[in-house]
Amino acid sequence: MLRKILVVGAGKSTSYLLDYLLEKAESEKLHVTIGDLHPEHISDTVKNHPHCTVVTLDIFQEDQRHQAIQNAEIVISMLPARFHIKVAQDCLKYGKHLVTASYVSDELLKLDQQVKDKGLVFMNEIGLDPGVDHMSAMQVIDRIRNKGGKLLLFESFCGGLVAPESDTNLWNYKFTWNPRNVVVAGQGGTAKFIQEGTYKYIPYHKLFRRTEFMNIEGYGKFEAYANRDSLKYREVYGLNDVLTLYRGTMRRVGFSKAWNMFVQLGMTDDSYTIEDSEGMSYREFVNLFLPYSPTDTVELKLRLYLKIDQDDIMWDKLLELNLFDSSKTIPLKNATPAEILQHILEDSWTLGNEDKDMIVMYHKFGYEIDGVKKQIDSNMVVLGENRTHTAMAKTVGLPVAMATLLILNKKITTPGVQIPINKEVYEPILDELTEYGINFKEHDVCYLGYNPDSIAG
């Protein structure tokens, strides 16, 4: 008898997830049902697989949702995070396991005891970041502790970037994930972390001028800006006494300084709408944020406002985006500045059909053992194949698929609403990921502790 898996949502991150499950379908006796609002976008290869059924599924239609979930043994929700709760409540009601790649919400966490009472596994944060970061970090942290070491420092960085051979613009960046998340990154709160026992805070308007730098052998130099709340995993990782805890987002060097121009202009603001935005030219949009002048051009006003010269690389980066083009117009009605900026950037930063993306993850572990301070640096680089089979889809989708099969096969049995920080989860998944070229290289380095020169601005 076939074991039934329901995948809700078949967006950009599901290509490897579906490939993995369908490749295992015969040997593992699986049938995969894919429920999506737009099933016409799913490839014929997937649709025509003998162990796959594709259905139209609107999660706001209760009857459709209930029927689909009732017919499955385990549900994978690849919906936007805010919609997981609807699926989770139904999984609880009908006694089905659940897997998501998203951060655990407070709403979902409230279901924990009920999920445990029913003996169900609700596995979350099992994608890339969050996901692979948790598992790879906990594997090293547990190893250090098992040897009697005490953690002093933990820093973790991750970035979705463009592969070197597809890096064809001055920003050294293209969208490999949801563009909106890039445009509004860092908003909604002050970034906070702890450095050598001292709490540090970076407000949004300074976030992209406080960057840490790192080198990865074979791939060169990168920078990272702080994530909003590095401290949220202090208790989860058991690092309550750690002196330094910092998590950040990686970019190529120079990106953050250039992005800061948009922040200072106000173009990343998502809190209000612009009247009559539809039909507005890119040039007119830029001019909205600049002082009035009866004589000065938009270009001159912007250079004066941002204090950049005409021969500055920052100016070339702005020109490359066609920001001053009068012929290019915005098709969005009453859009926020952030929505308009996203549209403009998608013009230039969308992956081409043969473009490849790149995932980079970098951890630093500082610890003390037998009175000696040591440090391990660990990094992972994964390259995509093309626009569909991206490194992002690979590193998000494969851990989700592997966790799903491990739960079905009763290899992961601890019940409750959880994230992948326990050995029964991270050990088999990290082992299997190496078969797909997702693995970490570790280096023992001299313990540096807090390096004041590594934080710019």
Comparing C-alpha atoms, which of 392, 290, 288, 282 is closest to residue 343? Answer: 282
Q: Which 3 state secondary structure label does DSSP give 370?
A: coil
Q: Which 3 state secondary structure label does DSSP give 245?
A: strand
Could you report the per-residue pLDDT of 56-113, keeping only the tens digit for each?
A: 888 899 999 999 999 999 999 998 888 899 999 999 999 999 999 999 999 999 999 9
Q: What is the DSSP string of 2-57?
A: PEEEEEE---GGGHHHHHHHHHHHHHHTEEEEEEES-GGGS-HHHHT-TTEEEEE-
Q: What is the pLDDT of residue 457?
A: 35
Q: What is the DSSP string of 313-329?
A: HHHHHHHHTTTT-SS-B
Indicate the pLDDT class of residue 449, thresholds 50, 70 and 90.
low
How far is the C-alpha of 377 from the C-alpha of 366, rounded, in Å?
9
3-state secondary structure 164-189: HHHCCCCCCCCECCCHHHHHCCCCCC
The total of other beta-carbon atoms located within 10 Å of residue 347's CB is 12
How far is the C-alpha of 112 from the C-alpha of 103, rounded, in Å?
14
Comparing C-alpha atoms, which of 113, 36, 31 is closest to residue 72? Answer: 31
Could you report the per-residue pLDDT of 319-332, keeping only the tens digit for each?
A: 999 999 999 999 99
Could you report the per-residue pLDDT of 360-402, keeping only the tens digit for each?
A: 999 999 999 999 999 999 999 999 998 889 999 999 999 999 9
What structural domains does the chain harbor? 3-124 (3.40.50.720)
Query: At 357, which helix (H) or strand (E)?
Result: strand 357-369
Q: Token pair for residue 32?
A: 């995969």
> By percentage, how much of the chain surpasses pLDDT 90?
83
Q: Token pair for residue 394?
A: 């690979």
Q: What is the pLDDT of residue 445?
A: 82
Comparing C-alpha atoms, which of 51, 11, 16, 17 is closest to residue 35? Answer: 11
- Name every residue whose Cβ is closer than 8 Å to that of residue 282 and which is 6 or more positions away in sequence: 322, 323, 324, 325, 326, 328, 329, 330, 344
